[in-house]
Amino acid sequence: MAQLLEVKSEAEDLHRELFCRNSQAEENRQRESWAATRIQSWFRACKVQAYVSHLHKKAIIIQKIWRGFTARARFRQMVKAAYFIMKMNFYEEMAVRIQRRWRGFYVRKYIHNFYARKRYLEGLSRNNELVRRELDELEHLQKRERDCLQVIKEQTNKVYQAHRLHHLLSTKQRPGVFNSPFRPAPHETELLLRQVKYQAPTGLVPKGSAGLLGMPDSTAPRFHGSLGSPWIKTTRTGSLKPVLPPIANKKQQEASETSLQGRSHNVKKMVQ
């Protein structure tokens, strides 16, 4: 009986040890299977990557060869087009040169006479020189005429001012405004006042008959309501009526001296 129990216990121990060893073997098998799977996947990945890299290199070579072929074909086409354009331009230039020579020869021989045109141009240049010379002479004459008219106008204006300022002429008793004792020589206006003669302010001069020693023309300065003199007044009907100076309460001689002094004072201010 004891031996049977020992055998049973040994059998149980054997079954337990067998189960443990089978479990351990199964674990080892699964671990080895997982490791083999990892090794196979890595190897297959390396193999696929190498194959893909090989295909990529071959594709790059194929693309390079194709692109080089197309670029060379395009460049050959561009060279052909440039050569054709250059050749056409050369032909056109030669054709234009031939046409120019022929047209020049035809025009010179059958249309225009060179020597006749040369004579015509020479005659035209001579006529131009004559016309220019005549125009220059005309311009010189017109300029001289304008200068003379300007001098006449200035002299007329000076004479007119001298007639208006004749009361400022120097006398033995009183020196005039333009004959100051501080001057080394009399003023130009003083000399002009000595040359002109006194004219009455009521004397009318017809329009257009003014001279160097008469009343001023239309270019001379005028007063409002007068025709060159402050003592001439125009009526509504257009007739000219002389206006006499106002009569003051003082004596005529004193009034005239007072007016002369006032005018001389104003003229001195203007001259200064």
Higher pLDDT, 210 or 31: 31
Q: What's the mean pLDDT in 154-174? A: 79
Instruction: Report the chain's terminal Cα–Cα distance, integer Å.
Output: 174
The domain locations on the chain are 165-198
pLDDT at residue 23, rounded to an integer? 86
CA distance 216 to 225: 16
pLDDT at residue 259, rounded to an integer? 53
pLDDT at residue 169, rounded to an integer? 75
Q: How would you write 111-123 as a 3-class SS string?
A: HCCHHHHHHHHHH
pLDDT at residue 226, rounded to an integer? 37
Higher pLDDT, 130 or 232: 130
**β partners of residue 234:** 240
Condensed to tens digits (0 to 9), the pLDDT of residues 97-153 reads 999 999 988 888 888 777 888 888 899 999 999 999 999 999 999 999 999 999 999
Confidence of residue 246 (pLDDT cuts 50, 70, 90): low
Higher pLDDT, 78 or 113: 78
Neighbours of 159 (CB within 10 A): 21
Condensed to tens digits (0 to 9), the pLDDT of residues 249-259 reads 444 445 445 55
CA distance 257 to 263: 10
Instruction: Give percent of the chain above pLDDT 90.
Output: 38
Q: Name the token pair of 240.
A: 């000219």
Q: How far are the Cα atoms of 29, 31, 34, 115 from residue 20, in angstroms, in the given order?
A: 14, 16, 21, 137
Mean pLDDT of the chain: 76
Neighbours of 192 (CB within 10 A): 19
> Left (φ > 0), alpha (ψ -120 to 50) or beta: where does 203 sit?
beta
pLDDT at residue 261, rounded to an integer? 59
